[in-house]
A and B are shown apart, each in its own frame.
Chain A
């Protein structure tokens, strides 16, 4: 109809007539659209990155576990001490059947999480170091986390005090026991807070002097172990890749150690220290001269020379001594003094000495205390406090793409389901058979499971002995599954499919519950959530501010038009028509500006997606799920940003326009009132 054309014509003409004003208001709208689209895309890219780092590493999208579990499932470890009791899935095959039948489910993996120890580099050194850093930085959260770790280590040292006997003379052991009981006494850790950094530091010194040596020689370290169907795992989790060694061949038993743990704990301490110093100085541009913490590290390094000298045979020592003398330009004949001098690195020498170390010394010592391909005793703790050792071959080390540098992730290690069951303290078919043989031999009619297990490997959880005593049952091996990871085809459907799965499992009465990845990830999931919250809040603020600016601009622009609105009303234009004209004008302007703004956002994100945004801080590495974030933008962001700006602009126009259309035309014609 002509009236409609009139409205369009006036709106368009008005836009053109007020070119300068239109351009200015349009620019504001474009900037608003750009901001919303750009930061929206950035935010969801971060969200996807963080989420996939978790879901594609171990958690899957959903996790299923015992409905009556005593503790919540925390795959990456929680804040709590000791191992969690998440119950077990009684009939995993039934669960898998139910889950796999749902459209959208890609895979269902059996899992179990437990703790184990191996001998390796002293973990308490690292913890004490972290504690020192957090006291110095006044970082309460990090301090709390590290304190929990230190406490756990000390407690397990106290429990595991049998190893002390192997360490030293009786008097020394007595001293250690006293130190341990002091460190496990109630209230000991309370003094370790930021209120009095001096006291906290001296407490750390005490730990360094009295506790560290025990672990130092024991070199006990803790592994968070995830037992799973390794074939399926290596296939289903895209971010998994082997760094050293090889994947566990199908059907074989064994362990894959997290590469970070391997580097941090298993590597020769001198090599490790040099690595850290080199990275700090060469890669991060820090300075030993300016950083007391690095100086401290160098000081410790010079005292750790025995970790090298003890490992060298006379021939090796001679070669190394020659090389060092040449490098240092020294005539020193005492090897230890030479080595100490070499290890006293500074900013100028670290790069060259690091290189020399790897060239001359590393090939002549055992660089990693647990070589790839070797079988090691993995030691698991049962609830009754017994330790059992499960021989396990180290096939290699692995990393999770994107989480390599994420300091929050403690490093999860992978074992096959049989190894896991044994670590966890449940007997496999072979052991069951052995047990019944043993029983026959000993002639015990009824034996409690605890006793039997203690006889076999020194411990295990209390369970009815009947199950263990039935040899026919031993024939068919039922794997122990504590939880199950469900991988979906589409991340968008997590909540929807969680509901479906939950319902079906409930209907099948399998005694299990379903949680999403965020909940299952424990601290890591919470961190992802907090980070997302912070991002969303800051985005909301930026968003709010830009919308207020858009609102103001549109209000001002419309107020300028009030006399015109009065005129149209005076010559017979109905309220609806004037409002339509003004709103249409805004819509046209907002669409053009929105296309421009969103277009620029697409270009900007596209460019950033090519180059990548560097993660300048460690925390960002986790968020970005890698060294760089490669953001993507999709139609949803473009549509959303344009719609939001359009709606805000129209509402900001509508209000003054409707007000102007309500007053008598002469009043409006006179202008602002």
Chain B
């Protein structure tokens, strides 16, 4: 690399040819030093092009032959993570409710009836849903699904590590499907997750509801989710529509795509908030 390169206005093109190899770590010392000196000038062509070259190079990982790690690795890793999560939050161990008492189902059913027939500012509620979703989305700062996954991991890590978090099991009356798990932290938000949950028909979704303690209080709509092909989902509510202390139970119903302002089906899962 001659020195005049860095003085040449069109040098971006010359250096641009090195970016992929640089992102790969394949440049020899001389070229690497010259490129780094050029990058240090914040070249408006090369700096963003390098960022994209890194993405391109990372895609080569998919060219590796498929290989499956052992279940033992998974077990080992999850054991360490669980232990770390427990160490960071020794007081998180709030016992999960093993089952929802029968009266709770009756209470929810009664609430649903009330909700269906009382006057209801659907528009305002719709705004509330959008607002909650917007804030959650803004917090995720990411349009990509895998980024949401990481954001969920991040938030979950914080929620689990916080001694104030409350663990809630959402039980179901249908024996063929399992319960859902929720962790609710007054400051950090609410995480609801499920495994091996059948996907709702068509493009229908699962929607989370907060059942208020107040007598006659209507279920507050929260976010919607569709389990993936394996029946897994994680629902992250950064700003639940109601306080934990004001909430009697969490419920999940099957709703049309986009969710509903009020439940249109009987809850599949319900869990009491203690």
Do the two shown chains form a genuine complex with each other? no
* Chain B interfacial positions (CB closer than 8 Å to A): none
